């Protein structure tokens, strides 16, 4: 191993050599010249001897410094491939080693980061979740295969204006993306309605604002949940039937025994109990039958002012804005039923009564009715399942209210969406088309 040198030692060696040359020259000239001439000759000899040494050292150090400057510039440009050859065993050589070590570390980290990005991109491209990332100007900077199929018929979206792509999207999809919150919505199609869940976030990337949209198709998941719900319904109905039929059967047997020794008072209690259980069972069956036999809407011009006046007489709320003059054909009684149900849900959410707001406005080629509250909001489970039959967050709820509302609105050619509000609470939005939709097969 070579001995380590130092810059200080090199400079001292050069100075010592120059001084030695100057001393020897002065001693040699002292025997032949005047003292002042001998000193001048020694100084001149020392300078002439030291300049080449200094120039040689400075040239090596200048070359190393220039190489380091160029290497740092390459690092700044994210080029980590530049290495510097070590030419000395002093501090400059150690500095060159440190630079080369840093460059090697950055190269390895970039290669590792590239592999992780490649793995992440592979996963993102293979996921059925549609992902779109846009910059501050609304231009798509990243998308996956599912997003290209949804918005661009399989073509690349990068570099295109997202607003232009949305012009060809269905109205419910445009309405959902126009907001800044997560929501559940339905897109009608020829085969079957497609249910989507939208999540969107805004954040800074490289000090620039970006928007990330995630769209998940929930149709299959909801279908599987509906099967599970129907199994639950069968269990609930069987439980209710058993709870009513078992005591009725027992009471009928008791009543038969009482016929042998008539006891009017006990017979009256028996028949009253049987009547009560039968009435409870009839009410239970009737509630579920109303969901299965929802009548077709009777379309007629809808008077929003009259509808809002009837609502205010039944449920307290704060009216926001003025109702539109746009003509809508709908079944006034069914729309009133939907509005009452949504307003009651808002009042039961824990929201203050004055914070429950209702607004009706013309939007997206139709009319939108919004019921907003400042209650506890909707959990992730409620957002995904609130529109399913028999799903309820209430201890005594039947789980049919929002499902019936959805059926009524979809029969009108519209759609119902649920979302959480910024600052707390939830909002239910009902969109109705201006024109009467074609009848749906039942």
Which tops the pLDDT comparison, 192 or 397? Answer: 192
Domain end residue (candidates: 234, 258, 292): 292
Q: Which pLDDT does position 45 carry in this prediction? A: 59
Whether 103 and 66 share a structural domain: yes
Whether 345 and 268 share a structural domain: no
Whether 211 and 138 share a structural domain: yes
Whether 210 and 276 share a structural domain: no
C-beta of residue 123 within 8 angstroms of C-beta of residue 146: no
Bridge partners for 163 per DSSP? none
- pLDDT category of residue 236 using cuts at 50, 70 and 90: low
Angle at 436 between CA 324 and CA 340, to 5 degrees: 55
Whether 46 and 156 share a structural domain: no
Tally Cβ neighbours within 10 Å of residue 163.
12
Average pLDDT over residues 260-277: 71
Take residue 369 and report the two structure tokens written for it.
């009715």
- pLDDT category of residue 442 using cuts at 50, 70 and 90: very low
442 found inside a domain: no
Q: What is the DSSP letter of 129?
A: S
Four-point Cα dihedral 296, 298, 302, 308, nearest 10: -60
Whether 147 and 232 share a structural domain: no
At 239, is the secondary structure helix, strand, or coil? helix
Range of the domain at 315: 300-433
341 found inside a domain: yes
DSSP characters over 286-345: HHHHHHHTPPPP--EE--HHHHHHHHHHHS--EEES-------EE-HHHHHHHHHHHHHH
232 found inside a domain: yes
Q: Kindly report, residue by residue over 69-111, the tens digit of the pLDDT.
A: 777 888 777 777 778 777 766 667 777 788 888 888 888 888 8
C-beta of residue 129 within 8 angstroms of C-beta of residue 215: yes
Q: What are phi and psi of 305, to 5 degrees?
A: -60, -45
34 found inside a domain: yes
Average pLDDT over residues 118-123: 80
Please give the share of the chain, as a percent, with pLDDT higher than 90.
8
The CATH number of the domain holding residue 212 is: 3.30.450.20
Max mean pLDDT among 107-111, 185-189, 227-231 falls in 107-111
Q: Which pLDDT does position 121 carry in this prediction? A: 79
Q: Which pLDDT does position 291 carry in this prediction? A: 61
Q: Kindly report, residue by residue over 144-159, the tens digit of the pLDDT.
A: 998 998 888 888 899 9
Which tops the pLDDT comparison, 244 or 79? Answer: 79
441 found inside a domain: no
Q: 68 CB contacts (<8 Å, ≥6 apart)?
A: 84, 95, 96, 99
48-53 own/partner pairs: CB under 8 Å, 24+ apart: 48/21, 49/17, 49/18, 49/21, 49/22, 50/14, 50/15, 50/17, 50/18, 50/21, 53/14, 53/17, 53/18
Max mean pLDDT among 54-63, 94-103, 304-313, 400-409 falls in 304-313
Max mean pLDDT among 30-44, 247-261, 343-357 falls in 343-357
Which tops the pLDDT comparison, 237 or 316? Answer: 316
What is the average pLDDT value for the chain, to the nearest integer?
Answer: 77
Domain end residue (candidates: 252, 276, 292): 292
Whether 379 and 408 share a structural domain: yes
d(CA 61, CA 15): 17
Whether 327 and 243 share a structural domain: no
Whether 226 and 212 share a structural domain: no
Whether 249 and 304 share a structural domain: no
Please give the share of the chain, as a percent, with pLDDT higher than 70.
67
Which tops the pLDDT comparison, 358 or 297? Answer: 358
The CATH number of the domain holding residue 255 is: 1.10.287
- Interhelix angle 401-411/332-347, rounded to 10 degrees, is 150
d(CA 347, CA 374): 9
Q: Is 3 a residue whose pLDDT tops 50?
A: no
Whether 248 and 202 share a structural domain: no
The CATH number of the domain holding residue 427 is: 3.30.565.10
Q: Structural domain tally of the chain?
A: 4
Lowest-pLDDT range, 86-90, 298-302, 343-347? 86-90
Q: Is 134 a residue whose pLDDT tops 90?
A: yes
pTM of structure: 0.42
63 found inside a domain: yes
- pLDDT category of residue 1 using cuts at 50, 70 and 90: very low
122 found inside a domain: no
399 found inside a domain: yes
Whether 417 and 334 share a structural domain: yes
Average pLDDT over residues 332-341: 89
The residue count for the chain: 442
Domain end residue (candidates: 51, 79, 114): 114
């Amino acid at each position: 191993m070579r001995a380590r040198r130092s810059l200080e030692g090199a400079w001292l060696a050069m100075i010592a050599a120059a001084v030695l040359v100057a001393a020897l020259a002065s001693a040699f000239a002292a025997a032949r010249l005047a003292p002042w001439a001998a000193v001048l000759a020694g100084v001149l000899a020392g300078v002439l001897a030291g300049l080449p040494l200094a120039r040689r050292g400075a040239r090596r150090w200048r070359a190393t410094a220039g190489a380091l400057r160029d290497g740092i510039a390459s690092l700044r440009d994210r080029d980590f491939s530049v290495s510097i050859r070590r030419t000395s065993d002093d501090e400059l050589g150690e500095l060159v080693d440190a630079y080369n070590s840093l460059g090697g570390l950055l190269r390895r980290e970039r290669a590792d980061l590239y592999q992780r990005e490649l793995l992440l991109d592979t996963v993102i491209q293979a996921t059925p979740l549609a992902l779109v990332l846009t910059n501050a100007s609304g231009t798509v900077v990243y998308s996956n295969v599912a997003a290209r199929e949804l918005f661009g018929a399989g073509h690349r979206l990068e570099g295109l204006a997202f607003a232009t792509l949305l012009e060809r999207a269905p109205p419910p999809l445009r309405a959902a993306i126009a907001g800044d919150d997560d929501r559940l919505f339905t897109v009608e199609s020829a085969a079957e309605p497609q249910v989507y869940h939208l999540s969107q976030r805004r954040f800074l990337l490289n000090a620039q604002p970006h928007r990330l949209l995630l769209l998940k198709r929930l149709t299959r998941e909801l279908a599987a949940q509906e099967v599970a719900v129907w199994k639950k319904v069968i269990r609930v109905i069987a439980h209710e039937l058993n709870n009513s039929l078992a005591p009725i059967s027992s009471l009928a047997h008791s009543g038969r025994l009482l016929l042998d020794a008539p006891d009017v008072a006990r017979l009256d209690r028996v028949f009253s109990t049987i009547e009560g259980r039968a009435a409870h069972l009839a009410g239970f069956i009737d509630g579920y039958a109303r969901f299965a036999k929802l009548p077709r809407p009777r379309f007629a011009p809808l008077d929003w002012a009259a509808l809002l006046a009837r609502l205010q007489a039944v449920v307290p709320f704060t009216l926001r804005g003025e109702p539109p003059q746009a003509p809508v054909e709908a079944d006034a009684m069914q729309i009133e039923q939907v509005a009452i149900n949504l307003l009651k849900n808002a009042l039961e959410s824990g929201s203050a009564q004055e914070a429950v707001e209702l607004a009706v406005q013309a939007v997206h080629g139709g009319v939108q009715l919004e019921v907003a509250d400042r209650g506890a909001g909707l959990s992730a489970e409620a957002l995904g399942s609130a529109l399913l039959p028999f799903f309820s967050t209430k201890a005594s709820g039947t789980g049919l209210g929002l499902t019936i509302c959805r059926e009524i609105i979809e029969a009108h050619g519209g759609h119902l969406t649920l979302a959480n509000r910024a600052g707390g609470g939830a909002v239910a939005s009902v969109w109705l088309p201006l024109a009467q939709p074609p009848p749906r097969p039942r």
